[in-house]
């Protein structure tokens, strides 16, 4: 395909997106027939649409996570209204006149994935094996979209109630003229996710050549994570093992960074800029990203409103190299935050897709929950040696005494690893539905003044572990039931 034709396809798609914004109709993304694709190469290029498929602009989950607090000096001036609402766990994050949210962004991705799924096998050019590979990538991409949507707008998965808990509409065709939508149940959403991934896995590419396309290892990791969230750790573990083995089938730099090396002289993140932090700024070259869904995260770069709360700070050992991605000072300020709190800096993005560190920690958690604490501790120790000096990486004896203690320590490791990254929110959702570990979830957000006094507090109500549907979605679909 020549460049002119590709740009024509993308321009027509953009026209569709603008049309949707003006009409404010749910999933009115691309008037039927506007997106022209005939050859197999056209569908391949659709999956390369980084702007739509790899970029996620919202950071609501960063602000809703329990490891953070806020600085009163910056909270109102440094955060938009929607971000303030997310931090406060407000009933409605987006105002009635908003026309874009996580729901819309993922719906746009869903349209493109459905288009490839439904049409690529009838495309011209290429052979059936190539066509099936593209369809598999789109199936796994659709599974990811539904995974995110149901974990934002559906209740946390519980086998006893999933068949009646409301989830999200399940759309499997690329038809923007649809006007009636019904919310499927959480169980139906998970069934669709499992079906898509199991169908996709055999045809997904084994060789990893970039971070924006779905591969066998990424699909296995996603399926393993889905099973973790369903509490089926015995099904998750072999998939996570396969994903880690699959990381070796790569032509790009892929694996865990050794922070002890990369943050010191001669390392890729050295020197550390006093204003912006370690220069981990290019998600497309980040070796710990297997499948990129990039969310611009200014709270991990320049903004000073959001900080690690004192409880989270206390989880870090003194020489944990991950602390170098957190500054004790607000931007361009001489006075540090009180109570040892720190703001994140150095990255500027969060990966909401599939990350290498996430796979390793989920695997250790599965082993621990299943009672294989020896192997879990060994794997966790190896992971921690990439994040701090070996002398501090040792796991406390108290944490290895039984599987509950070790699992809690692994969950704390996930808090250290993914602080101010947005992934913690999803851990909170699955853990609050787990009686053994529900107490590990924080349910209050505090705002501190410059002297460390609490000037405001917000409580996370049980129903707010599930987001309410954006009001503009309901205005276009008044028959669709709202979450409490």
pTM assigned to the model: 0.92
Calculate the alpha carbon distances from 156 to 26, 187, 198, 219, 227 in Å: 24, 11, 22, 22, 13
Instruction: State residue 418's pLDDT score.
Output: 98
**Gap between the Cα atoms of 117 and 372, Å rounded:** 40
- Find residue 289's DSSP bridge partners: 355
- Find residue 277's DSSP bridge partners: 273
The DSSP code sequence of 311-362 is HHHTTS-TT-GGGGGEESS-TT-SSPPGGG-BEE-S--EEE-SEEHHHHHHH
Q: Which residues contact 143 (CB under 8 A, 6 or more apart)?
A: 192, 193, 196, 197, 200, 222, 226
Which is it for strands 68-71 and 444-448: parallel, antiparallel or unpaired? Answer: parallel
Calculate the alpha carbon distances from 6 to 14, 49, 427 in Å: 12, 10, 39
What domains are defined for the chain?
3-256+353-476 (1.25.40.390)
Instruction: State residue 470's pLDDT score.
Output: 92
Calculate the alpha carbon distances from 7 to 41, 112, 158, 165 in Å: 13, 16, 45, 42
Ramachandran quadrant class, 347 (left: phi over 0; alpha: psi -120 to 50; beta: rest): alpha
- pLDDT tens for the chain, 484 residues long, are 333 233 333 333 433 333 333 333 444 444 344 457 889 999 999 999 999 999 887 668 999 999 999 999 999 999 999 999 999 999 999 998 888 899 989 999 999 999 999 999 999 998 999 999 999 999 999 999 999 999 999 999 999 999 999 999 999 887 766 666 789 999 999 999 999 999 999 999 999 999 999 999 999 999 999 999 999 999 999 999 999 999 999 999 999 999 999 999 999 999 999 899 999 999 999 999 999 999 989 999 889 999 999 999 999 999 999 999 999 999 999 999 999 999 999 998 999 999 999 999 999 999 999 999 999 999 999 999 999 999 999 999 999 989 999 999 999 999 999 999 999 999 999 999 999 999 999 999 999 999 999 999 999 999 999 999 999 999 888 889 999 9
User: Quick one: which of 304, 303, 314, 305 has its CA closest to 340?
Assistant: 314
User: Quick one: which of 237, 225, 231, 222 has its CA closest to 157?
Assistant: 231
Number of H helices, E strands in the chain: 19, 13
The DSSP code sequence of 184-235 is EEHHHHHHHHHHHHHHHGGGS-SSB--SSS--HHHHHHHHHHHHHHTT-HHH
Instruction: State residue 56's pLDDT score.
Output: 85
Longest dimension (CA), the chain: 67
Interior CA angle at 137 toward 131 and 141, to 5°?
A: 145
Instruction: State residue 126's pLDDT score.
Output: 86
**Gap between the Cα atoms of 349 and 244, Å rounded:** 24
Instruction: State residue 47's pLDDT score.
Output: 97
**Gap between the Cα atoms of 372 and 364, Å rounded:** 9
Calculate the alpha carbon distances from 107 to 50, 52, 111, 336, 366 in Å: 15, 10, 6, 42, 31
**Peptide linkage before 271 cis (omega within 30 of 0):** yes
């Amino acid at each position: 395909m020549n460049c002119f034709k590709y740009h024509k396809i993308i321009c027509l798609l953009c026209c569709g997106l603008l049309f949707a914004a003006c009409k404010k109709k749910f999933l009115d993304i691309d008037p039927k027939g506007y997106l022209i694709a005939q050859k197999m190469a056209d569908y391949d290029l659709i999956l390369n649409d980084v702007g739509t498929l790899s970029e996620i602009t919202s950071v609501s989950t960063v602000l809703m996570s329990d490891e953070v607090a806020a600085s009163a000096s910056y909270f109102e001036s440094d955060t938009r209204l929607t971000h303030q609402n997310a931090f406060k766990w407000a009933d409605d994050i987006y105002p009635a006149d908003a026309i874009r949210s996580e729901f819309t962004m993922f719906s746009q991705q869903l349209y493109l994935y459905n288009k490839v799924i439904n049409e690529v096998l009838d495309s011209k050019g290429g052979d059936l094996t190539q066509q099936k590979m593209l369809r598999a990538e789109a199936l796994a991409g659709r599974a990811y979209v539904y995974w995110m949507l149901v974990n934002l707008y559906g209740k946390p998965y519980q086998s006893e109630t999933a068949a009646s808990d409301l989830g999200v509409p399940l759309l499997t065709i690329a038809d923007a003229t649809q006007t009636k939508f019904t919310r499927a149940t959480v169980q139906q959403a998970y069934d669709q996710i499992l079906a898509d991934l199991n169908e996709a896995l055999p045809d997904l590419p084994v060789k990893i050549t970039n971070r924006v396309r779905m591969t066998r290892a990424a699909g296995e990791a996603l399926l393993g994570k889905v099973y973790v969230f369903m509490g089926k750790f015995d099904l998750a573990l072999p998939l996570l093992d396969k994903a880690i083995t699959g990381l070796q089938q790569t032509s790009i730099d892929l694996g865990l960074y050794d922070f002890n090396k990369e943050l010191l002289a001669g390392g890729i993140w050295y020197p550390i800029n006093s204003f912006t932090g370690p220069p981990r700024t290019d998600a497309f070259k980040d070796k710990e990203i297997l499948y990129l869904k990039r969310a611009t995260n200014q709270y991990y770069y320049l903004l000073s409103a959001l900080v690690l709360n004192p409880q989270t700070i206390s989880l870090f050992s003194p020489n944990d190299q991950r602390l170098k991605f957190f500054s004790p000072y607000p931007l361009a300020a001489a006075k540090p935050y009180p109570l040892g709190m720190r703001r994140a800096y150095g990255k500027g993005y969060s990966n909401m897709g599939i990350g290498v560190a996430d796979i390793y920690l989920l695997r250790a958690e599965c082993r621990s929950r299943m009672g294989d604490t020896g192997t879990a501790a060994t794997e966790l120790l190896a992971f921690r040696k990439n994040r701090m000096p070996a002398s501090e990486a040792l796991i406390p004896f108290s944490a290895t005494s039984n599987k509950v203690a070790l699992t809690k320590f692994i969950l704390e490791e996930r808090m250290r690893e993914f602080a101010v990254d947005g992934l913690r929110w999803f851990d909170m959702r699955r853990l609050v539905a787990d009686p053994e570990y529900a107490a590990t979830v924080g349910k209050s957000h505090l705002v501190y003044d410059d002297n460390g006094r609490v000037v405001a507090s917000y409580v996370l109500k049980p129903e707010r572990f599930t987001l309410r549907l954006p009001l503009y979605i309901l205005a276009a679909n008044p028959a669709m039931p709202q979450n409490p």
